[in-house]
Structure 1
Amino acid sequence: MNQTLNYLKELLAIPSPTGYTEQVMKYIGQEVEKMGYTPKRTNKGLLIVSVKGENDQQHRTVTAHIDTLGAMVRAIKPDGRLKLDRIGGFPWNMIEGENCTIHVASNQKEYSGTILIHQTSTHVYRDAGTAERTQDNMEVRLDEKVTSAEETRALGINVGDFVSFDPRTTITDSGFVKSRFLDDKVSAAILLNLLKEFKEQHIQIPYTTHFMFSNFEEVGHGANSSITPETVEYLAVDMGAMGDDQQTDEYTVSICVKDASGPYHYAFRNHLVELSKANQIEYKLDIYPYYGSDASAAIRAGADVKHALLGAGIESSHSYERTHMDSIKHTEALVKAYLLSQLV
């Protein structure tokens, strides 16, 4: 678990909004190469680590996505501040007050700023607290001496530059992990740690398995390509969403039975339940009503596979998220038990 946590902290420190993931993919590639694997990059940008199993005729695919929520510069306002366009699904109030970084394409420079509503000062605006947070009144206050669009453009900033949010990662003595983008860097850290463990302990897995790190999940099409024709089972390791009417918590692994795409494969999810019971893994079954995964994207793309979804329980998903080390532990244990099990 210590190594999983180390991977998680390093992944969280690398900005990776969807479409701007080369740096984090480079990090993952270097880590798996150090382990002794030979990763493959697809045209779309997926990174795949294929591990040969005892059975090379029937394959498994397991995924985690490393792309995160973020934004792009939509326009430069007359006063030099920036208007944003969202990447991924989140309401504007979830990022109000957050520090951010503008990644300038033209000169590779980075500038810091803060995301605020235009009517920020309560001493000036009567509706500072009640104004609806929309694209039209949310803006980036740059930490540069700019007071006009021309001065901002002189920095090299332009429409289309990516904007990443400060993850504000904190690990408490009580075992909580607080950070943006635990969705889905917790899962990526788990897969990295399992790859390391399998290699160092010379563990032979029963079926050839493709570990896919996807880079377009937050916009819906994720790891829906480059699936080998031999793949018969597809497991997405993502997150469990918490809230009213949800069973998911921060201390167990959440097994999804249905999301916005419909039910997951019945026998597959039952297999995960039985593995949990047999290995004393604490789990919860749940439905995520407004949710999709790499596995559901693969099904929509026409993949002929049994698909399932599990993940650590994440509080306040798509906002300032939190989970507990217990949930990460149980999630990793279930993924490992599955990879060592027989086919559904």
Structure 2
Amino acid sequence: MTAANFDCLAYNRLFAIIEELVLCHSPSGVETEVDRWLENRFGQLGLEAWQDSAGNFVARIPGRDRGRAIAITAHKDEIGMMVKAVEPNGRIAVRRLGGAFPWVYGEGVVDLLGDRETVSGILSFGSRHISHESPQKAQQEDKPVRWEDAWVETKRSPEDLAAAGIRPGTRAVIGKHRKRPFRLQDYIASYTLDNKASIAILLALAEILETPAVDLYLVASAKEEVGALGALFFSQRQRLDALIALEIIPLAPEYTIEGGSVPVVLAQDGYGIYDEDLTRQIRQAAEQMALPLQIATISGFGSDGSIAMKFGHVARAACLGFPTDNTHGYEIAHLGAIAHCARILKGFCETVDLLCP
């Protein structure tokens, strides 16, 4: 089999796994669909796995040195919307959950995850054929759509919505039929790659990893988009020598990051600097596997790693990710960059002198 054919098969499988994950709704705090998927997949691999009281889904792989431990996190929650109010006409006022913007989603189907029923509605901005008398006129000329200007149209009565368990605090996300990923040659395009592709890296690592040098915790962390709450909980209670966060890395003219199949390790983000020795060891693992790796500093961004280190929960943290267009929108990433993250981490985790200065 040629290298090109091998890559094609690997990319096809990776795309299929990410597609399954993307179609699991998981807005922050309502992540059950992904939890069930993880329980099944980790169980198939025969890993010791559990869900903690903060909602993190954790798998442990014993290492050669049982006296030390690291965690690799990939958050399982996605951005979306939260119901603010159910209005008398059945329209639903929503506000952002995490870094979501209405103009990114556009008008279209969203799923409201009620307590007893999932109800689909239309994220709406109002008609276009209007005059200055309508507040939507400003959106056609010089103002972006705000959450305060948008609503979800359900054409249901407040009583019907209440019976479905739609209430203030109900989560809403892009409808499943709009979420199915799209293939652009060796690229994947989709909503929620931010978290679902990173979880796919965790799974790929679990499949290819032999015995790690130290105990390894694979953590699908909860509620990252609303303050890295799951990672903070886990890292406060579990003694860790280091934590590595898996993330999307935004492509923008202000950053010295190239798109394509080369992953990125961060030196700094909006929450502070990452550990220099740990970052160097990840770079060395990439070199040993003959895989290129970019290094960058960015802003307007944080990860489980930088937030846990900022609050003193871990002494050493790093962030490894894949370059992505349209972050927190309809994201586009190279399948090779996602696959290479798993390969780099395999080399890193199996290194005998892991974490030694």
TM-score (norm 1): 0.90
What is the CA deviation profile of residues 38-94 of structure 1, one whole-angstrom value per residue up to 9, with x for unaligned ones? 212111111111110111001111110110001111112343211102110233322
Q: Contact 1:82–1:140 (CA<8 Å) still a contact in 2?
A: yes
Distance in 1 (alpha carbons) for counterparts of 2:153 and 2:238 = 49
Cα separation, partners in 2 of 1:150 and 1:29, compared to 1, 3 Å: closer
Q: Pick from 160, 163, 166: which aligns with 1:157?
A: 166
| Structure 2 counterparts to residues 1-344 of structure 1, below 5 A | 1=10, 2-105=12-115, 108-117=116-125, 119-123=126-130, 125=134, 126-130=137-141, 131-142=143-154, 145-146=155-156, 149=158, 152-153=161-162, 156-166=165-175, 168-172=179-183, 174-198=185-209, 203-220=210-227, 221-227=229-235, 230-248=239-257, 249-341=259-351, 342-344=353-355
Give the whole-Å Cα distance in 2 for the aligned partners of 1:93 and 1:222.
Answer: 29
Which amino acid in structure 2 is aligned with residue 75 of structure 1?
Answer: A
Task: After superposing the two structures, state which structure 1 stretch, 92-101 or 47-56, moved more.
Answer: 92-101
Structure 2 CA distance for aligned equivalents of residues 173 and 294 of structure 1: 29
**Which amino acid in 2 is paired with 1:88?**
G
Moved more, 328-337 or 119-128: 119-128
For residues 161 and 234 of structure 2, the distance between their equivalents in structure 1, rounded to whole angstroms, comes to: 41
Q: Distance in 1 between matches of 2:15 and 2:159?
A: 44
Query: Any stretches of 5+ residues in structure 1 without a counterpart?
Result: none
Conserved? CA contact 2:66–2:214, under 8 Å: yes
Q: Secondary structure at the match of 1:223?
A: helix
**Structure-2 change in CA distance of 1:211 and 1:152 (3 Å):** closer
Aligned length: 334
Counterparts in 2 of 1:53 and 1:197: CA distance versus 1, 3 Å: same
Which structure: greater helix fraction? 2
Deviation at 1:273?
Answer: 1.8
Q: CA RMSD, aligned part only?
A: 2.0
The percentage of counterpart residues that share the same residue type is 22
Aligned residue identity for 1:243: A
CA contact (8 A) 1:268 1:307 kept: yes
* Greater than 6 Å deviation, 4+ residue runs: none
Q: Tell me the TM-score normalised to structure 2 length.
A: 0.87
Looking at structure 2, the residues matched to 46 and 54 of structure 1 have their Cα atoms a distance apart, in angstroms, of 25
Offset at residue 303 of structure 1 (A): 1.7
Mapped partners of 1:120, 1:286: distance in 2: 43
Distance in 2 (alpha carbons) for counterparts of 1:276 and 1:197: 16
* SS in structure 2 at match of 1:205: coil
CA contact (8 A) 2:243 2:314 kept: no
Counterpart residue identity of residue 111, structure 1: V
Residue aligned with 1:136, SS = helix
Give the residue type in structure 2 aligned to 1:164: V
Using the TM superposition, give the Cα deviation of residue 262 of structure 1 relative to its aligned residue in structure 2, in angstroms.
Answer: 0.9
**Aligned equivalents of 1:165 and 1:255: distance in 2?**
30
Give the partner amino acid of 2:200: A
Deviation per CA, 1:72-128: give whole Å up to 9, x if none. Answer: 1111234321110211023332222242101111xx2111122122x3323565435
C-alpha contact (below 8 Å) 2:101/2:147 kept by paired residues: no
- Within 1, Cα distance between the matches of 2:299 and 2:184? 33
**Pair 35,94 (structure 1): closer, same or farther in 2 beyond 3 Å:** same
Mean Cα displacement is larger for which, 262-271 or 157-166?
157-166
